[in-house]
């Protein structure tokens, strides 16, 4: 049986369970929350991406998110957009990303998900993309530009392969639509904390906790909050209502600003340790 496919037995029914589901089940039983770091594949190199994933795994990250560079990202702020541009300018291709991920995933305890534009999936073909992603070791995909109304075909393929398809909700998503997205998602729900693009913020919206709590009371699917999270104070504020916290721009910026690979690894490690510690501190 592939490492990303686990079996859950419930009564007389036997159902497949992705490694994302398994990880959240483990965390719930342990009373812990998921720290989910984001890295851009290939920025500044795929070799460093692999080393950073290993370091973040060693720090205790629960799930890793890997951004597939795309020339026209719809929700990413200047830090991640710039990292995508650098990676694309270096000539990176998705086959190179899959090859590198396939080499590093056997070394990781944490499952990986990709952040990928639906345009890339369509170009490859949905079935082919999911198969290639699974072979590389990905357990799921976040597809930010895929409307839930247009996701039936990809969702069917993902369910067939026990590959998590993660949708996003935002602060402006109507409640009835939030419920539809929750019903259509697998793995977890990505709850966008702010209106706008990714990037570090000094403050988060005052009504964010209430909106997350409203959805939490209506779905059993894990809810992970992302966008703008960069400080221990954010982590302490959001951990009580979230199943996981996603940190991207703060990590990508620190990796990019470092003068060497070793400094990149140290900078990412130090921030991850700081935020993970804040999650575990009441």
Phi/psi of residue 126, nearest 5 degrees: -60, -45
Between the alpha carbon of residue 127 and those of residues 98, 152, 157, 164, 189, the distances in Å are 15, 13, 6, 14, 22
Matching residue, tokens 């104070």: 233
With beta carbons less than 8 A apart as the criterion, state whether 250 and 10 touch: no
The C-alpha angle with vertex 168 and arms to 7 and 279, in degrees rounded to 5, equals 75
Indicate which residues carry an active-site annotation: 65, 76
- For the chain, how big is the Rg over CA atoms in Å? 17
- Nearest 5°: the CA angle 260, 262, 263 is 65
- If we measure between CA atoms, which residue out of 135, 130, 62 comes closest to residue 103? 135
Q: At what angle do helices 249-257 and 261-280 cross, to 10 degrees?
A: 150
Q: Where are the beta strands (DSSP E) in 116-185?
A: 138-142, 164-166, 168-169
89 three-state secondary structure: helix
Tell me whether the omega of the peptide bond preceding residue 5 falls within 30 degrees of 0, making it cis.
Answer: no
């Amino acid at each position: 049986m592939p490492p990303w496919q686990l079996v859950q037995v419930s009564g007389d029914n036997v159902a497949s369970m992705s490694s994302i589901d398994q990880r959240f089940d483990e965390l719930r039983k342990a009373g812990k929350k998921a720290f989910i770091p984001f890295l851009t594949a290939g920025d500044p190199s795929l070799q460093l991406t692999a080393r950073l994933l290993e370091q973040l795994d060693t720090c205790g990250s629960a799930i890793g998110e890997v951004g597939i560079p795309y020339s026209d990202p719809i929700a990413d702020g200047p830090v991640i957009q710039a990292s995508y541009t650098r990676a694309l300018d270096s000539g990176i291709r998705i086959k190179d990303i899959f090859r590198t991920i396939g080499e590093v995933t056997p070394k990781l305890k944490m499952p990986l998900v990709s952040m990928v534009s639906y345009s890339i999936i369509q170009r490859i073909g949905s079935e082919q993309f999911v198969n290639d992603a699974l072979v590389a070791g990905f357990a799921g995909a976040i597809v930010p530009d895929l409307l839930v109304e247009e996701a039936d075909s990809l969702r069917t393929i993902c369910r067939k392969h026990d590959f998590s398809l993660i949708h996003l909700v935002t602060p402006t998503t109507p409640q009835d639509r939030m419920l539809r997205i929750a019903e259509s998602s697998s793995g977890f729900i990505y709850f966008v904390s702010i209106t706008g693009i990714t990037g570090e913020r000094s403050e988060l919206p005052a009504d964010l906790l209430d909106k997350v709590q409203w959805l939490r009371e209506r779905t059993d699917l894990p809810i992970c909050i992302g966008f703008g999270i960069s400080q221990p104070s954010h982590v302490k504020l959001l951990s009580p209502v979230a199943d996981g916290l996603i940190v991207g721009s703060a990590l990508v910026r620190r990796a990019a600003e470092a003068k060497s690979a070793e400094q990149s690894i140290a900078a990412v490690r130090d921030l991850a340790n700081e935020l993970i510690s804040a999650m575990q501190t009441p």
